[in-house]
Chain A
Amino acid sequence: ETGVTQTPRHLVMGMTNKKSLKCEQHLGHNAMYWYKQSAKKPLELMFVYSLEERVENNSVPSRFSPECPNSSHLFLHLHTLQPEDSALYLCASSQEGGGNIQYFGAGTRLSVL
């Protein structure tokens, strides 16, 4: 148990569906992150939130829409996805400053049909 909980753990959706991934951290951290990990590829940083403000968007397509309503919760809203978006989506949180150790959730395995 890392203190970062992601739901759902698995998700199958069609290309015309709209779904959301949820992340909740119980560590009192002030930064949260979304990563994408495709098969046999390194983790790709998608979005960074610091103090509930989005501070990084690494050229992510607009069909991915993040939301951070408070410092403990992070969402990733999905719509009109493509099959190549199938991947493991990981959420992480950290306390900024010093070494900025990130704690990861178990991820959501997304399959787009």
Chain B
Amino acid sequence: LAKTTQPISMDSYEGQEVNITCSHNNIATNDYITWYQQFPSQGPRFIIQGYKTKVTNEVASLFIPADRKSSTLSLPRVSLSDTAVYYCLVGDMGNSGTYKYIFGTGTRLKVLA
């Protein structure tokens, strides 16, 4: 059972703001929402994490509505180097009690000149 749903791909132009929305209808009370970026043949890189409302750091913002059933990653003024796959994740406390993530297919963002 997939925990998150996000668009398979998006195109944008340099300098534009990009918003990627993720649905997580079955999010649990203790789940955080985490976004990663992955370039080809590299490991995923942490971008931002939030629990509720809005979180902002030096690279992105994360908007989470009150019901927490979705979230939106906002990338301001993207550049060609932001072309990557972006994963939205919610936690999953497995039977062992260990917190783990289930990666989906992610959103393939292509930034055009």
A-B contact count (CB 8 A): 69
Number of interface residues of B (CB under 8 A): 23
B36 to A: closest C-beta gap in Å: 8
Residues of A1-51 at the interface with B, using a CB-CB cut-off of 8 Å, are 2, 4, 31, 33, 35, 42-45, 48, 50
A56-B94, A101-B34 as given contacts; A48 in contact with B43, CB under 8 Å: no
> Is A45 in contact with B100, judged by CB distance below 8 angstroms?
yes
Instruction: Judge whether A105 is part of the interface by a CB distance below 8 angstroms.
Output: yes
> Is B43 in contact with A33, judged by CB distance below 8 angstroms?
no
A88-B41, A104-B43, A104-B45 as given contacts; A98 in contact with B32, CB under 8 Å: yes
With A and B bound together, what is the CA distance between A104 and B36 in angstroms? 10
Instruction: Judge whether A77 is part of the interface by a CB distance below 8 angstroms.
Output: no
Ranked nearest first, the 9 interchain pairs of A and B with the lowest CB-CB distance are A104-B43, A55-B96, A99-B32, A43-B103, A100-B99, A42-B103, A55-B98, A99-B49, A90-B43
